[in-house]
């Protein structure tokens, strides 16, 4: 085993605010260290690269014990928007960009963005529904070929 990581392939499988950001931060951080990075968006993670949806990524306030919010409060109308707004502001203060800008930035760092073919088919999407930074819609097999020789991180 080499003593440094040269390449990572990060899978983003969830479509919530807290499901998407960790993978984006890991990918951007990899590139900042000179590590090659690929991002593979699958299942609801596709929302992160969906043209009309990726501006409206929301924090899940129901069934999210990390928020330390009473379960019934989490389900109140608008709660998810309020909490998302609150967290997004805190992140902006730390220089963490909104999802659309972050994806554009990660693409500009030279990381590859890919969509999962099975998920694209499942949701009846095609490449025109996805942001232009997405390089390709690929199968699981193609993803493994792309990830060969590096580490795979599932989020």
Partner 1 sequence: MSDATYAGRTVAVDPEGFFVDPEQWTDEMAPEIAAEVGIGELTDRHWQVIKFMRHEYEQRGAGPTVRVLGRTSGVSIKELYELFPKGPAKLAARIAGIPKPRGCI
Binding site for partner 1 (CB under 8 A): 25, 28-29, 31-34, 94-97, 105, 108-110
Looking at beta carbons only, is 81 or 109 nearer to partner 1? 109
Angle, alpha carbons 145-147-151 (nearest 5°) = 150
Least distance from partner 1 to the Cβ atom of residue 103, Å? 12
Looking at beta carbons only, is 32 or 118 nearer to partner 1? 32
Looking at beta carbons only, is 109 or 151 nearer to partner 1? 109
CB of 57 closer than 8 Å to CB of 16 = yes
76: left (phi over 0), alpha (psi -120 to 50) or beta: beta
Pairing of strands 151-154, 7-12: parallel
């Amino acid at each position: 085993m080499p003593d440094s990581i040269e390449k990572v392939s990060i899978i983003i499988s969830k479509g919530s605010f807290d499901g998407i950001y960790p993978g984006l931060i890991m990918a951007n951080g990899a590139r900042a260290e000179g590590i090659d990075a690929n991002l593979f968006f699958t299942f609801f993670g596709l929302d992160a690269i969906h043209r009309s949806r990726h501006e409206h990524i929301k924090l899940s306030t129901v069934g999210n014990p990390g928020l330390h919010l009473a379960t019934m409060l989490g389900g109140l109308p608008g709660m998810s928007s309020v909490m998302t707004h609150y967290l997004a502001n805190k992140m902006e203060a730390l220089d963490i960009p909104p999802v659309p800008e972050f994806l554009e930035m990660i693409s500009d760092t030279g990381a590859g963005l890919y969509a999962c073919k099975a998920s694209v088919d499942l949701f009846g999407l095609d490449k025109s529904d996805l942001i232009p930074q997405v390089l390709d819609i690929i199968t699981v097999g193609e993803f493994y070929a792309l990830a060969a020789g590096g580490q795979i991180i599932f989020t």
